[in-house]
Amino acid sequence: MLDSGPFTVNLATIGVDDSQFKTVTDTLGKAAFGADGATGFEIEGVESDRVTARLLRSRPVEIQSYDTDAGALVEEEVQTVESIPFRLDFDRQRLEVFSNGRDTRAVASAIQQQIDLGQAPVQLELDLAGVYEAATEIDWDVSVGSLQVRNLAIDEQATGSYRMAIPEDSQADSYIADYAGDISYLGTTFERAGSAVSVGFYESGSIRFFSASDANAELWETIGTEIQAHGATVEKP
């Protein structure tokens, strides 16, 4: 599911655990795309406590084509299939959607329509000071290149958001400590054994891997675990 190209991931809590593994996997497998002509699932892989899959949705799209008889452009509606990759982690009770926040809500809703979860999935925001602390604990060298801070005092009457570049020779810790609680974006670079991966963390919950690197998938496995272990995820109200 994850290759060397750039990708975005959003997270949500989901009320499934190891005891429901077979039931959930079988249910999603039976809800295959085409059964109702509009939405369905495609299972890509099953591990001991995780399922990787795609939500497939049929969408009408207006396109223009040239009508030779009329000698003009005409509009017509065609059906396209949208594919949204995701992973269910039963051990962490977590849904990982490798797309944007809107698609995360769509996947969570589609799963809930098939399975009685007891509680609706809840998208997760990020505590970026906690994310930075988690990043310093893994076996990668991390540097912070930029921060976006909200509620920054511009003058005595005005506040606003400001994105600042962090000098290479500075200590990111002091900047993060000064603005903790008001950081809305954290721009980082992770380096190890000749690999460098640029990752942007957004308070809204999105994590964006900007680099095309063979190390992307391994880094996400590592940092994704550490973020949760440090309690750096927060349920959206």
pLDDT confidence tier of residue 186, bands split at 50, 70 and 90: very high
pLDDT confidence tier of residue 115, bands split at 50, 70 and 90: confident
Name the percent of the chain lying above pLDDT 90: 43
**pLDDT value of residue 60:** 79
pLDDT at 35 over 60: no
65: nearest Cα among 76, 54, 55: 76
- Identify the three-state secondary structure at position 112: helix
Mean pLDDT confidence for 126-154: 89
Residue 16 vs residue 45, higher pLDDT: 45
**CA 225 to each of CA 51, 145, 219: distance values in angstroms, whole numbers, following the listed order:** 16, 23, 10
Mean pLDDT confidence for 16-24: 85
**pLDDT value of residue 137:** 92
Q: Which CATH class is domain 7-59+72-120?
A: alpha beta
**pLDDT value of residue 174:** 87
Contact 122, 236 (CB under 8 A): yes
Distance (Å, whole) CA 147 – CA 186: 5
User: 156-175: per-residue pLDDT in tens?
Assistant: 665 777 888 888 766 788 88
pTM over 0.75: yes
User: 72-102: per-residue pLDDT in tens?
Assistant: 888 888 888 889 999 999 988 899 999 999 9
Average pLDDT, the chain: 86
Mean pLDDT confidence for 111-132: 88
Residues with Cβ < 8 Å from 45, sequence gap 6 or more?
Answer: 1, 51, 52
* Domain boundary assignment for the chain: 7-59+72-120, 125-235
Residue 64 vs residue 25, higher pLDDT: 25
Structure-block tokens of residue 142: 């991390």
**pLDDT value of residue 73:** 83
